[in-house]
Amino acid sequence: MTRGKDDRIRGEEEWAKAKELIASRQTSEATAHLEEAERSFTASGDEGRLMEVLLTESQNHLCLGLTSRALDDVSTATRLVEKQGRPVENRRFLFQRGLVHLCIGREEEAHRDISRYLELSEGLEDHMATVRGHFYLALIYERHGEPCMAAAELEVGRDAAERLGSTILSGGLTAFLAHLWLRRGETEMARTLESEASHLMRDVTDEEGTSSRGMTLLANAEVRTTNMDLSGGQEAFRLSLAAFHHSRLSHYFEAFAHASYGETLLRQGLAEEGCSTLNRARSLYEKLSNRSQVERITALISGAGNPCRR
């Protein structure tokens, strides 16, 4: 057996072990196996398999909140694609790179990749991926300060989710709309949408619903707090964090939840509570190297005055 073949076999074995560990949420334990798989496929010269392992590594590093390493992985993978004289049209690579860019606050780059991912998914009539694309484009627009564009993406996504028959996806998109209406001061519409989302998600567990369930609980927390049900709002916020914990972007969504809930608290005149929550959001975004969101939250904190000082 040749050395190259030995390396390929070892690469396949290590990659398989890593994927098993990731499937059981043992992401930290998977790291060493992925690194060994990368070394083995590099030694074998099998660039096709190497690209796939780099994609898995990027996904795993993002789950661990290691955004710089996640970006390095997916960037190396896409360079290998381009080295072969092909454009980066593989949807999985585009989606992953878009997620990494979102997490580190590069909204324009994220928009480019997720938009192309959505376009390709629509062309293939992949309805699940289409809904996912609209959700993340809405998130990109919202974080970039374009709520109207975000709402438009959510409405299109809701129509697609209803055609697909997915109550989980419909619930998450509807809850996100409720969040946007609250930001516009339309509390009655927000309450209606939040109630609809909660109804859709009533039997969904944290593990099943992940980001959709987290978004629904976050919207519930914001609506309750707007109604000055502070204890109910705080409990719903706690539950939203627990739900987001099961998402592949748990670190990002935890930061998003703290930022959103902190803003809601400030809008209700609860400066001390809002400042504490926003400071936590800023710390989480700093760990993600998300400069744009750190700057946005710093501006919010500065505008709120003394209670927000560390």
* Domain residue ranges of the chain, discontinuous segments joined by +: 1-15+35-88, 90-160, 166-247, 249-310
Q: Is the dihedral of CA 260, 264, 267, 270 positive or negative?
A: negative
pLDDT band at 86 (very low <50, low <70, confident <90, very high): low
- pLDDT value of position 217: 97
Which CATH number is associated with domain 90-160?
1.25.40
Least confident of 84-88, 236-240, 281-285: 84-88
Share of the chain above pLDDT 90, in %: 84
Q: Output the CA–CA distances (angstroms, integers) from residue 230 to 36, 166, 224, 262, 307, in the order listed.
A: 50, 32, 7, 13, 19
Least confident of 140-149, 170-179, 206-215: 206-215
Over residues 246-268, the pLDDT tens digits come to: 898 999 999 999 999 999 999 99
Structure tokens at 109: 């780059």
Compute the distance between CA of residue 226 and CA of residue 207 in angstroms, rounded to an integer. Answer: 28
Better-predicted residue by pLDDT, 170 or 87: 170
- pLDDT value of position 240: 97
Q: Nearest-CA neighbor of 220 among 244, 204, 202, 197?
A: 197
Better-predicted residue by pLDDT, 168 or 5: 168
Q: pTM of the predicted model, to two decimals? A: 0.92
- pLDDT value of position 200: 95
Better-predicted residue by pLDDT, 84 or 76: 76
When pLDDT is averaged across residues 65-72 and rounded to a whole number, the result is: 97
Residues shown for the chain: 310
Least confident of 84-98, 151-165, 176-190, 280-294: 84-98
Q: Which residues contact 61 (CB under 8 A, 6 or more apart)?
A: 67, 69, 70, 73
Whether 309 shows a pLDDT value over 60: the answer reads no
When pLDDT is averaged across residues 300-305 and rounded to a whole number, the result is: 81
Tokens 């419909």 -> residue: 170
DSSP designation for 298: H
Compute the distance between CA of residue 69 and CA of residue 100 in angstroms, rounded to an integer. Answer: 10
Quote the mean pLDDT of the chain.
Answer: 92
- pLDDT value of position 1: 45
Could you give the count of Cα atoms lying within 13 Å of 145 in the half-sphere of its Cβ? 6
Q: Which residues contact 188 (CB under 8 A, 6 or more apart)?
A: none
